[in-house]
Structure 1
Amino acid sequence: MEFFIYDRLMIQLTDTPVHVLHVDGHDVFVKRDDLLHPAFSGNKARKFAYFLEQDFPSIDTLVGYGSPQANSLYSMSALAKLKGWQLQFYVDHIASHLLNNPLGNYRAALQNGAKIIDLSQCLDRGQHDCADYIEQCVLPGRDELLFIPEGGRCHYAEPGVRQLAREIIAWKQAEQLSQLTVFLPSGTGTTALFLQKSFTELDDSIQVMTCSAVGGDDYLKLQWRMLASDESMFPQILSPNKRYHFGKLYPEFFQVWQKLKQAGMEFELLYDPLGWLVLLHFLANKPMAKVLYVHQGGILGNESMLPRYRRKYGG
């Protein structure tokens, strides 16, 4: 088990346990990356491990962008705090209710000292989105800035994800499984891609399957092509029975989330409900499959998502 110590805080970055979750008559193995240290947990702990472990003597500011409730916002704020950096995180817009009543990742990031910049309030924005604004107006000539793309979609994510792959391989060997399917829902798909690449190189009896939670299948493949040219390394994409819009509340999402919680495990409410709906549909047709679901954390986001669901659907 690997630990790093910053300001007397011990950070566990590896070797999370695997638990069994019984749901809809299926026993699903769950890799509990949500149990990594809460200051730096879930899939972002894996994707950002490189930045935590390496020295950057000339850097004093971390720069990123995304949603004001993104898991990456909180994880980057924790990373910046641990490294002694300032975080500048750009968002397209911050809703007034969130400004007046900070919740979830937004609140926690502010508590970590993050500077969250509402691009809609920047006079020099022009027609730029967050990515273009950072590239053209923030980064040029600023060697003290370290930029991480949205969701950690970069090659620096590979070492930490490869360590996750090694842990899964070691667990599979200890369980004496001949084959294994690893499943996780995807945003940018960075974790799924680098897992599949690692398994292809280290243990090709393991197959990664995923679903696109943010866009469609074409969107997900586009994200992968930015990181890998060899499409034989791409995970298998499982498509849901209907199109879901990212961030919209669906009753079946809340129902499956409640079912999982009653079974003994809490997941986040943005990606995991779609992931579990897709996985359970797969298992209904492949009941003998040995599946390991990667729990990627993000529970802090439920602080803002859960009240929205309860207002709409009760419970």
Structure 2
Amino acid sequence: RPPFLPADALLVPQGGACGYARPGVAQLAAHVHARACATPAVRTVALVCAGTGASALFLALELHRLAGAAANGGGCGGDGCGGMVPVLALPCAMHADALRAELAELHARSALESDRGSLPLWVFPPPANSARAVRFGALEPEALRAWRRARAAGMRIDLLYGAPALAQLLRAEVAGGGGSGSGGVRAIVEQLLAERSGGAREARPLELLWVHTGGLEGVPSQLARYVRAGLATPDELALAQAEADISARGPVYGTP
């Protein structure tokens, strides 16, 4: 019987969950790092929608490498200038605990020797917080509401990754009092940062940087499912199709 795959075949795991994905994230990391260096008055934390978590992991590793290289070279680097950017992964295809296990396995399998050590990113929500399972691709009214809210703010996100991730953040914000005091997403991130720095808290305000990881071309097909279920309108679908056609010809930028 002939082999299932030819000897020179390149096998890429689902979601690009292997070291081959890292070079493609390096340019993104450079952009995020440069932004953090240009805004030292705030502490930047990157929010990344995570399926297998490959993009989040390699972005975190590259940002860690860039901050270390800049600090050693005398340029921007380290927490003091905003050059060290933590990454917060938002589960979109599995439970948060399952994503943590997936990230740990991918980190052990794919990281370079210089990357060895503790995982330089977190999964939202933290283990101490309750989290329900994420059903990838399921029709979720909560995700659709988050997608509509993002659109109303001028922010274009997809329905498979961006909308469920944003729904998690909005749910945490409501549970924490809507950011009015000690609760909400920022309070959770502040606590994570404090734990990372041994309990110390900084006075600089947080900047939560949303990293867009899902294309807009797939929005119409997913939105059509919402229309058939009676959860979305044909007018919304027509507008999403027009935006997807524009996106296919070039990037679409929104106001985060």
Q: Which amino acid aligns with 2:119?
A: M
Distance 1:194 1:138, change over 3 A: same
**Cα deviations by residue, 1:206-228 (Å, 9 ceiling, x for unpaired):** 11001221111232123223332
Contact 1:269/1:305, CA 8 A, preserved across alignment: yes
Partner of 1:206: 85
Matched, 1:263 2:153: yes
> What is the correspondence of 1:238-249 to structure 2 with a 5 Å cutoff?
238-239=124-125, 241-249=131-139
Q: Which amino acid aligns with 2:161?
A: Y
**Cα deviations by residue, 1:77-98 (Å, 9 ceiling, x for unpaired):** xxxxxxxxxxxxxxxxxxxxxx
Per residue, is there more helix in 1 or in 2?
2
In the alignment, the residues of structure 2 paired with residue 232 and residue 159 of structure 1 have an alpha-carbon distance, to the nearest angstrom, of 21
> What is the correspondence of 1:160-175 to structure 2 with a 5 Å cutoff?
160-175=24-39
Contact 1:183/1:279, CA 8 A, preserved across alignment: no
Q: Which amino acid aligns with 1:219?
A: A
2:163 alignment partner, one of 268, 273, 286: 273
Partner of 2:123: 237
* Secondary structure in 2 matching 1:290: strand
Partner of 2:209: 292
* Secondary structure in 1 matching 2:107: coil
Percent identical? 30
In the alignment, the residues of structure 2 paired with residue 137 and residue 218 of structure 1 have an alpha-carbon distance, to the nearest angstrom, of 36
In the alignment, the residues of structure 2 paired with residue 212 and residue 297 of structure 1 have an alpha-carbon distance, to the nearest angstrom, of 13
Matched, 1:222 2:101: yes
In the alignment, the residues of structure 1 paired with residue 164 and residue 32 of structure 2 have an alpha-carbon distance, to the nearest angstrom, of 23
Contact 2:90/2:124, CA 8 A, preserved across alignment: yes
> What is the correspondence of 1:1-315 to structure 2 with a 5 Å cutoff?
138-139=4-5, 142-203=6-67, 204=78, 205-229=84-108, 230=116, 232-239=118-125, 241-280=131-170, 281=172, 284=179, 285=184, 286=186, 288-312=205-229, 313-315=231-233
Per residue, is there more strand in 1 or in 2?
1
Over the aligned positions, Cα root-mean-square deviation in angstroms equals 2.5
Contact 1:200/1:233, CA 8 A, preserved across alignment: no
* Secondary structure in 2 matching 1:209: strand
